[in-house]
C-alpha cells in the first residue's frame, strides 16, 4: 500500500501521455503554445506499462490518461488496452478536449474506458473560440453528444470558470443536467497557464459559483460526494444529472488526496502544485530495478505535502516556475 505521512492512501495515478494540444485555452497555454517535449524525452509506452505494473502491486487501482490532448499521442489506444490488462487496475478514465476522440470511443469502452471527462468552457461558439483560440466548437459538441448517447459512458464536463470569459455559461451548462445524467463540474481557475506568473487572487471561487447557481435555481440539493472527490456535488430538484464545484485554487479537498501524477517526461508529482520530486524515466533508463523504482516512489509519497499550499510554498522556495497545465496533465 502507498501511504503518505498523513495516512492518505495513494491509489490513483494520473498519467499525462503528451504535452501536445490542438487547442490554446487561455488558462492553460500562451497563444503561441509551449515548447513541446522532444519524442526522445517522452516516456515510452513500455516504460509507462512498467511503472503502472509496479504501482498496481502496491494498491494503485485507478488510472487517468491526460495531456495536453491525450489522443494526439500516437497509438494511445494500444496503451489504454495494455494498461487495462494489468492485474489490480480496476478503473480507467480519460480527460480529453473531444476534438479528435470520437473515432476511438467504441473501440475503447470494451477495455473498461467508461469514465470520460470532457473539457468544455463554453456552450457559445464565439466564447468557445475566444477561450480556446481555435475553431473546434462543432466538433467538440458532436463528440459530447456522441458520448451522451452511450449509456455505458459516465460523462463529466469540466469547465474552468473565468471571470472575463464564461460566467454567462454557468447556468446553460447546469441546464444540460436537466434531461441527462451527466455531471458538469465547475473548476476554479488555477495559475498553470504557461505564463509562469503566480496567480494573485481569485474572484470567481467555489462560493461565488455556488451562490450564482443558487440565485438562479430554486431547489439546489447537496448530494453525497464520492470518496476522495475533489468536487462538492449538487443536483437541481428533478434534474437527471448533477453539477460539482472543484475548489482547485482554494484547495479545500486536500485532506483526502489519493493522487499521484506522472508528467509526459516521467516527472513524479505528489501534488499538482509541487515542482516534482524525481524523474522515474531517467531512473529506469539508468538501469534501475523495479524495486528501486518502487522505493523512490514510496519515498516521494512519504514526503507528500499536507496540501496544495504547502506544496506551492516549497515550489516557490525552490524558485521553480509554474508549468502549463498541458505539461502537468491536470
List interacting residues with ligand SF4 (CB under 6 A). 251, 253-254, 257, 259, 271-273, 307-308, 311
CA distances to 15, 83, 290 from 43, rounded to whole Å, are 10, 15, 16
Cβ proximity to ligand SF4: between 122 and 158 the closer is 158
Q: Tell me the sheet residues that pair with 246.
A: 187
Closest distance of CB 259 from ligand SF4, Å: 5
SS3 per-residue string spanning 114-149: EEEEEECCCCCHHHHHHHHCCCCHHHHHHHHHHHHC
228 alpha-carbon distance from chain centroid: 14
Which one, of 204, 124, 130, lies nearest residue 160 by Cα?
204
Closest distance of CB 246 from ligand SF4, Å: 10
Closest distance of CB 87 from ligand SF4, Å: 26
How far is 97 from 68, CA to CA, in rounded Å? 9
Closest distance of CB 250 from ligand SF4, Å: 10
12-16 sheet: strands from edge to edge = 220-222, 232-236, 242-246, 183-188, 154-161, 113-119, 91-96, 62-66, 12-16, 259-262, 267-269, 278-279
Cβ proximity to ligand SF4: between 157 and 254 the closer is 254
Closest distance of CB 255 from ligand SF4, Å: 8
In the block, residue with C-alpha cell 469547465: 159
Furthest-apart CA atoms within the chain: distance in Å: 61
Closest distance of CB 228 from ligand SF4, Å: 9
Amino acid at each position: 500500500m502507498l501511504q503518505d505521512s498523513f495516512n492518505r492512501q495513494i491509489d490513483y495515478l494520473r498519467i499525462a501521455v503528451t504535452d501536445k494540444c490542438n487547442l490554446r485555452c487561455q488558462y492553460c497555454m500562451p497563444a503561441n503554445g509551449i515548447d513541446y517535449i522532444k519524442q526522445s524525452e517522452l516516456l515510452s509506452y513500455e516504460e509507462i506499462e512498467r511503472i503502472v505494473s509496479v504501482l498496481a502491486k502496491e494498491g494503485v487501482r485507478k488510472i487517468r490518461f491526460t495531456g495536453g490532448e491525450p489522443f494526439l499521442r500516437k497509438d494511445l489506444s494500444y496503451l489504454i488496452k495494455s494498461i487495462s490488462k494489468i492485474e489490480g487496475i480496476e478503473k480507467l478514465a480519460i480527460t480529453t478536449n473531444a476534438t479528435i476522440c470520437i473515432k476511438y470511443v467504441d473501440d475503447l469502452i470494451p477495455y473498461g474506458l467508461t469514465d470520460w471527462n470532457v473539457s468544455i468552457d463554453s456552450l457559445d461558439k464565439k466564447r468557445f473560440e475566444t477561450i480556446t483560440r481555435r475553431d473546434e466548437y462543432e466538433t467538440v459538441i458532436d463528440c459530447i453528444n456522441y458520448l451522451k448517447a452511450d449509456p455505458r459512458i459516465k460523462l463529466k464536463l469540466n469547465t474552468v470558470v473565468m471571470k472575463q470569459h464564461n460566467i454567462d455559461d454557468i447556468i446553460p451548462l447546469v441546464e444540460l443536467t436537466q434531461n441527462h445524467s451527466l455531471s458538469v463540474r465547475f473548476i476554479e481557475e488555477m495559475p498553470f497557464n504557461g505564463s509562469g506568473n503566480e496567480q494573485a487572487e481569485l474572484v470567481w471561487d467555489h462560493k461565488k459559483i455556488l451562490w450564482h447557481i443558487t440565485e438562479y435555481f430554486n431547489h439546489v440539493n447537496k448530494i453525497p460526494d464520492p470518496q476522495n472527490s475533489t468536487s462538492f456535488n449538487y443536483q437541481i430538484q428533478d434534474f437527471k444529472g448533477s453539477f460539482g464545484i472543484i475548489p482547485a485554487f482554494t484547495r479545500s479537498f486536500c485532506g483526502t488526496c489519493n493522487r499521484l501524477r506522472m508528467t509526459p517526461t516521467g516527472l513524479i508529482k505528489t501534488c499538482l502544485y509541487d515542482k516534482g520530486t524525481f524523474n522515474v524515466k531517467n531512473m529506469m533508463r539508468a538501469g534501475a530495478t523495479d524495486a528501486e523504482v518502487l522505493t523512490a516512489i514510496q519515498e516521494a509519497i512519504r514526503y507528500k505535502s499536507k496540501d496544495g499550499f504547502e506544496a506551492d510554498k516549497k515550489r516557490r522556495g525552490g524558485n521553480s516556475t509554474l508549468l502549463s497545465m498541458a505539461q502537468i496533465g491536470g
